[in-house]
Amino acid sequence: MAGIITGQKIEQSKALRARQLRRQMTPAEQILWQALRANRLQGWHFRRQQVIFYCHAARLIVEIDGDIHEQQLVYDEDRDRVLTARGLRILRFRNSEILQNLEQVLAHIAEACRESLSPPSLGEGPGERS
């Protein structure tokens, strides 16, 4: 099973857990996903990949930190190091930010997409389908 990065292997147990988490999203995750899916954020294509939202064209990961993240800070820091070493940018938002100020969160995500390393190449920017 492939991951975010081409060729990255994902353990079957993690893939099953990711599928379960996609089916049982928190209210904040549901709200953000409805705003990001189907190229709704200024044409940027996001995927729900594992337990994050990912825009390949902008090499951007958006993660929603709920209460559980307070208990796994070391894990998150280690994973962030691996992902940033691969050239990915990570934005984190608290559940409360999404629930109380979705428009500002979306504006921040859109700005991060525009600030991506380079303009999207043909077929990878706004409107990308995969």
Top-confidence residue, 124 or 41: 41
pLDDT score recorded for residue 3? 52
Report the chain's C-alpha Rg in angstroms.
Answer: 14
Tell me the whole-structure pTM to 2 decimals.
0.67
Q: Is residue 130's pLDDT more than 60? A: no
> Which amino acid is it at 65?
D
* CA 13 vs CA 1, 34, 70, 113, 120: distances in Å: 11, 26, 23, 31, 33
As a whole number, mean pLDDT of residues 42-58 equals 83
Q: What is the mean pLDDT of residues 49-75?
A: 79
The predicted pLDDT at position 97 comes to 94
Residue of 122 and 115 predicted with greater confidence: 115
Q: Give residue limits of the domains in the chain.
A: 26-114
Residue 121 has pLDDT above 60, yes or no: no
Average pLDDT over residues 46-50: 74
What is the fold, at CATH topology level, of the domain defined by 26-114? Endonuclease; Chain A (3.40.960)
By three-state DSSP, how is residue 44 classified?
strand
| Lateral strand order in the sheet of 47-49 | 47-49, 52-55, 60-65, 89-94
